[in-house]
Amino acid sequence: MKIYSVADNITSPLGITTIDNFEACLNDETGIKTIENSDLYPTSFLGGLIEKNTFPELFQEDKYTHLENLFIHSIKDALQKAPEIDEGRTALVISTTKGNIDLLAPTYKGEMPAERVLLSSLAKTLSVYFGLSHSGVVVSNACISGVSALLTAKMLIETGQYDHAIVTGGDILSEFTISGFQCLKAMSDEPCQPYDTDRKGISLGEACGTMIVSNQHPIEKEDRPMIEILGGGQANDANHISGPSRTGEGLKNAIKRAIKASHISIEDIDYINAHGTATSFNDEMEAIAFDTLGLSQIPLNSLKGFFGHTLGAAGIIESIMTIEQMRRNLLISTKNFKNMGVSKKLNIVEEIIPEFKSTYALKTTSGFGGCNAAIIFQKYGN
């Protein structure tokens, strides 16, 4: 059975549709700004924040939390692009790391009931809003959650339980995560610089992304190349809960499993969208893993310089951006990368490559808990 990506949305500081976000990246814009807001952190910091002034339509419904409003907008926009979806045959798979964590803050003054912080409650809220028969499943695998969610959706369709799935991922910028990454000394005081010699850590961003996947294609009217979710794999480093394996063992295993599940060989991969968080250990680990697998010549980019690290959204919005690059036959630059700062050779996309045809693209992620995930997309046609 083939599973296709049929419609999508990205909601971030750069825009509230996939097209807006993609154009912004082509124009070399970034969502990462200096933020001075003592509700988020005592001192100024860098991050990607979706602002009310810029996108008032995302702040309309008081009945819902900030994150829920982002999810609702993102899913609605994606569904509009896939009007032939049957709600009774559609699964809902949600990816998030912290969900409505802002409701748990001792300083929270709103009126949302405490249960709303439960991730299963987030699924219920969205399922009811969209009138789905499926009550929703939430995957919480740290920073790989988005890719895990896509693979879970694929599984739910392959086992015949559903024909379509709404796969949505999101996380907000909260004092919880900012203060946490600050105390881990993992946040950069400049916009994050993936793979660069001067990289100093991550920039956090808030975002939400939705991909509609289906066993039928095309259910959309526009004439554009078909994208199949070919296969994926996951693996654990079994090394440390908050630092990646020095040898990239888990990432290598995840990629190998994805290749096997996709029934292709490693030589078929022609483009890599990597995790590239811009921490010293993550980027180095990725370089070792890609090099060992013989992928050091394959064009590779990280989109963290545009969006920041969007945690539960990352795997989904970066998969959508991967697909969009495949459809448009071009590759986006790795924003803020200047000088090679990892020990192994990587073919990092420095400037936009305007003519690039990718047939098999690899998307990878790694996260806390030692988890790694890889997913492969195939494009049909031109």
Partner 1 sequence: METRVLKYAEINSSKAIRNGEVVVDNPSQLIAKEYFKEIYMALDLKYPKFYKMDGLCQLALLATEMLIGDGDYKGDEIAIILGNKNASLSSDKQHYAAIASKENYFPSPAVFVYTLPNIMLGEICIKHKITGENSCFMMENIDADFLHTYVSHLFEADNYKYCITGFVDFTEENYIAKLFLAGSVDSSDSEATYKFDKTFNKIIP
Partner 2 sequence: MEQLKENLKVAIIEALNLEDVSKEEIDNEAPLFGAGLGLDSIDALELIVLLEKEYGVKVENPEDGKDIFQSINTIAAFIEKNQK
User: Which residue, 44 or 239, is less far from partner 2 as judged by CB?
Assistant: 239
Residue 240 interacts with partner 1 (CB under 8 A)? yes
Torsions phi, psi of 39, nearest 5? -70, -20
Partner whose footprint covers residue 187, from partner 1, partner 2, none (CB < 5 to 8 Å by kind): none
Asked if residues 209 and 320 have their Cβ atoms less than 8 Å apart, the reply is yes
Half-sphere exposure of 26 (CA within 13 A, CB side): 15
Partner whose footprint covers residue 175, from partner 1, partner 2, none (CB < 5 to 8 Å by kind): partner 1
Partner whose footprint covers residue 106, from partner 1, partner 2, none (CB < 5 to 8 Å by kind): partner 1
Residues 74-133 touching partner 1, rule: CB under 8 A, are 97-99, 101, 104-107, 117-120, 123
Residue 242 interacts with partner 1 (CB under 8 A)? yes
Partner whose footprint covers residue 13, from partner 1, partner 2, none (CB < 5 to 8 Å by kind): none
Residue 242 interacts with partner 2 (CB under 8 A)? yes
Residue 353 interacts with partner 2 (CB under 8 A)? no
Residue 166 to residue 260: CA distance in whole angstroms: 26
The residue range among 183-191, 244-252, 310-318, 329-337 that interacts with partner 2, by the rule CB under 8 A, is 183-191
Q: Binder to partner 1 among 27, 111, 241, 382 (CB under 8 A)? A: 241
- What minimum distance in Å lies between the beta carbon of 190 and partner 2? 15
H/E run at residue 376: strand 371-380
Q: How many residues bind partner 2 (CB under 8 A)?
A: 7
Q: Binder to partner 1 among 163, 196, 249, 284 (CB under 8 A)? A: 249
Q: Binder to partner 1 among 17, 179, 247, 359 (CB under 8 A)? A: 179
| Nearest partner of 310 among 121, 190, 185, 168, judged by Cα | 168
Partner whose footprint covers residue 129, from partner 1, partner 2, none (CB < 5 to 8 Å by kind): none
Residue 239 interacts with partner 2 (CB under 8 A)? no
Residue 117: DSSP 8-state = G
Partner whose footprint covers residue 279, from partner 1, partner 2, none (CB < 5 to 8 Å by kind): none
Partner whose footprint covers residue 369, from partner 1, partner 2, none (CB < 5 to 8 Å by kind): partner 1
Residue 258 to residue 230: CA distance in whole angstroms: 9
User: Which residue, 183 or 238, is less far from partner 2 as judged by CB?
Assistant: 183
Partner whose footprint covers residue 218, from partner 2, partner 1, none (CB < 5 to 8 Å by kind): none
Residues 255-274 touching partner 1, rule: CB under 8 A, are 257, 261
- What minimum distance in Å lies between the beta carbon of 183 and partner 2? 7
Residue 378 to residue 232: CA distance in whole angstroms: 12
Residue 336 to residue 354: CA distance in whole angstroms: 19
Residue 3 interacts with partner 1 (CB under 8 A)? no
Q: Which amino acid, 365? A: T
- What minimum distance in Å lies between the beta carbon of 243 and partner 2? 6
Enumerate the H helices of 28-96 as residue ranges: 66-80
Residue 98 to residue 177: CA distance in whole angstroms: 8
Surface-to-core class of residue 292, CB atoms within 10 Å of its CB (0-12 exposed, 13-18 middle, 19+ buried):
middle
Coarse DSSP helix, strand, coil percentages of the chain, rounded to the nearest 5 percent: 35, 25, 45
The answer for residues whose C-beta is within 8 angstroms of residue 216's C-beta and 6 or more apart is: 4, 163, 164
User: Which residue, 243 or 369, is less far from partner 2 as judged by CB?
Assistant: 243
- What minimum distance in Å lies between the beta carbon of 194 and partner 1? 22
| Nearest partner of 188 among 379, 50, 30, judged by Cα | 30
Asked if residues 8 and 211 have their Cβ atoms less than 8 Å apart, the reply is yes
Surface-to-core class of residue 110, CB atoms within 10 Å of its CB (0-12 exposed, 13-18 middle, 19+ buried):
exposed
**Site for partner 1, rule CB under 8 A:** 38, 42, 97-99, 101, 104-107, 117-120, 123, 137-142, 148, 152, 155-156, 158-159, 161, 175-176, 179-184, 233-242, 249-250, 253, 257, 261, 367-371
**Site for partner 2, rule CB under 8 A:** 183-185, 240-243
